């Protein structure tokens, strides 16, 4: 290895890659379970796509956080035939006093499709840790749902998040959502990692598939917030159809509280929820130096008060570290731009989708490398986040079966199976993560990991349990 010190840096980098490929950089565990190659869509007459009874009844109901602090909720729904009412009637479970909030509605056209009336209503100044009932619709078409607000932000507030990505609307998608709903750990909020309906995979970007997907996930998304991340299947850029406005269906249907975190775009924003500070980034918007997203993240990271919200979580669609041959190294440019910030500010975990498989990294960074020094191999770095890919919701493309061999040193566990994740915050120092495969029982974890907070417990030894 002493010879490397006298070689050209580019040659050094090449030799490093050769050494890795020859087995000198041994990784972790590769699960031996492989799903079938493709996943069939559920029939359009399936119960999960059923239209609610009543004329112009609200459908595709979903909620998300409505402000940065967790006292607000955005309630969204669609009326198919006419605008109807944009009013939300809501009250706390222990109160007889009913409040009204007025929303808005929007519509859009995409090629030969015209949307229904898409309603968005923001309710603010709610009480923390309180169950609220809400009603939408008119007369016999009125529908009632409920949600629970998070506890006030604090360093030792426990909270449980679910992780789902790349869901689609197949039979496997239905299993994933059913398993998440049945998980005994009871996630309270879904961190959604992008790629929702996959409507752009259907002929002419069939936007009616946005409607079926909205009805499919309503059974959960109407009762607990889904924190949205945009993926490549949300871009919907189709100049051949004279559709040249990216993200048009997504941004009309899925409102997020981006303005409360001083973002200029709904594609990147932040929220606080319990003891977590969650930053959502856009893999498919400009992110290099001097772009709006770059400037926003540069200013946002120093604002995070780890004494109030110790857990710093980043969501993005395209993973920065992956050893799957599908979409291989597509996140590399974003890694080069942002990884040093993630290390500097001690991000605890970065969750991604995009690759239709599961993978968890070790705590590594590659920030030492530049084109001159030849230090091109990721190294262990206890200030770095763990990178977890959960793009395995069950979409019709099937699981990503191709793994780079041998398993690289940064990869701790990987498997081409469908499933969901649970991130269970215990206190300011510890959180527990489990990945649940669809083929297993609800409580079984194929991979699990104890997180030691990078700010409050940066040198804690971690424990990994894989089955």
CA triple 209-215-219, angle to 5 deg: 145
Closest Cα partner for 421 from 463, 451, 400? Answer: 451
Q: Distance between CA atoms of 341 and 336, rounded to whole angstroms? A: 10
Strands 189-192 and 226-227: parallel
CA triple 371-373-376, angle to 5 deg: 75
For 357, phi then psi, to 5°, come to -160, 180
**Contact (Cβ atoms closer than 8 angstroms) between residue 165 and residue 217:** no
Q: Distance between CA atoms of 85 and 96, rounded to whole angstroms? A: 22
Position of tokens 């489990």?
434
Closest Cα partner for 417 from 353, 357, 354? Answer: 357
Q: Distance between CA atoms of 20 and 233, rounded to whole angstroms? A: 33
DSSP code of residue 62: E
Q: Distance between CA atoms of 414 and 325, rounded to whole angstroms? A: 12
Element (H, E) at 334: helix 332-344
Q: What ranges in 162-302 are assigned the alpha helix state H? A: 171-182, 208-221, 248-253, 292-300
Catalytic one among 171, 252, 327, 430? 327
For 159, phi then psi, to 5°, come to -165, 150
Q: Distance between CA atoms of 322 and 340, rounded to whole angstroms? A: 18
- Region for 223 from its dihedrals, namely left if φ exceeds 0, alpha if ψ lies in -120 to 50, beta otherwise: alpha
Assess whether 356 carries a catalytic annotation. Answer: no
CA triple 205-209-210, angle to 5 deg: 95
Q: State the sign of the Cα–Cα–Cα–Cα dihedral 104, 110, 115, 120.
A: negative
Closest Cα partner for 326 from 280, 392, 246? Answer: 392
Position of tokens 């001690």?
346
Cis peptide before 281 (omega within 30 of 0): no
Q: Distance between CA atoms of 54 and 415, rounded to whole angstroms? A: 45
Q: Distance between CA atoms of 422 and 386, rounded to whole angstroms? A: 15
| Active site positions, annotated | 327
């Amino acid at each position: 290895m002493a010879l490397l010190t006298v070689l050209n840096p580019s040659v050094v980098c090449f030799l490093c890659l050769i050494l890795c490929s020859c087995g000198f950089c041994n990784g972790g565990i590769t699960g031996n379970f492989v799903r079938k190659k493709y996943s069939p869509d559920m029939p359009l007459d399936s119960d999960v796509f059923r239209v609610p009874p009543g004329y112009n009844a609200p459908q595709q109901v979903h909620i998300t956080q409505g402000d940065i602090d967790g006292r607000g909720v955005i309630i969204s729904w669609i009326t198919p035939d006419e605008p109807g009412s944009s009013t939300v009637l809501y009250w706390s479970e222990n109160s007889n006093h009913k409040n009204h909030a007025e929303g808005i509605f929007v519509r859009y056209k995409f090629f030969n499709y015209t949307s229904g009336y898409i309603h968005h209503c923001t309710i603010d100044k709610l009480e923390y840790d309180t169950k609220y009932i809400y009603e939408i619709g008119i007369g016999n078409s009125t529908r009632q749902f409920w949600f629970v607000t998070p506890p006030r932000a604090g360093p030792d507030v426990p909270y449980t998040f679910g992780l789902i990505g790349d869901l689609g609307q197949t039979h496997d998608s239905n299993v994933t959502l059913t398993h998440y709903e049945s998980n005994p750990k009871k996630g309270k909020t879904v961190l959604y990692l992008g790629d929702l309906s996959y409507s752009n995979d259907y002929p002419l970007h069939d936007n009616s598939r946005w409607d079926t997907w909205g009805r499919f996930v309503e059974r959960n998304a109407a009762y607990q917030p889904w924190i949205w991340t945009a993926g490549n299947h949300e871009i919907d850029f189709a100049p051949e159809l004279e559709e040249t406005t990216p993200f048009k269906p997504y941004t009309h249907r899925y409102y997020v509280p981006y303005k409360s975190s001083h973002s200029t775009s709904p594609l990147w924003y932040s929220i606080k929820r319990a003891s977590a500070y969650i930053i959502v980034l856009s893999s498919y918007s400009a992110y290099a130096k001097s772009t709006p997203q770059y400037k926003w993240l540069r200013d946002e990271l120093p604002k995070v008060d780890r004494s109030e919200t110790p857990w710093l979580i980043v969501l993005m669609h395209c993973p920065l570290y992956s050893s799957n041959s599908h979409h291989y190294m597509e996140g590399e440019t974003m890694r080069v731009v942002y990884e040093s910030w993630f290390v500097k500010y001690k991000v605890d975990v970065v969750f991604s989708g995009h690759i239709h498989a599961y993978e968890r990294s070790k705590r590594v960074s590659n920030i030492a490398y530049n084109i001159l020094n030849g230090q091109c191999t990721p190294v262990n770095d206890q200030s770095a986040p763990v990178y977890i890919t959960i793009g395995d919701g069950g979409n019709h493309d099937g699981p990503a079966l191709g793994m780079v061999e041998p398993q690289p040193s940064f990869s701790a566990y990987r498997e081409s199976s469908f499933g969901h994740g649970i991130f269970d915050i215990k206190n300011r120092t510890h959180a527990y993560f489990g990945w649940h495969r669809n083929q297993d029982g609800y409580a079984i974890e194929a991979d699990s990991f104890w997180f030691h907070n990078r700010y409050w417990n940066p040198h804690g030894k971690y424990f990994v349990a894989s089955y």
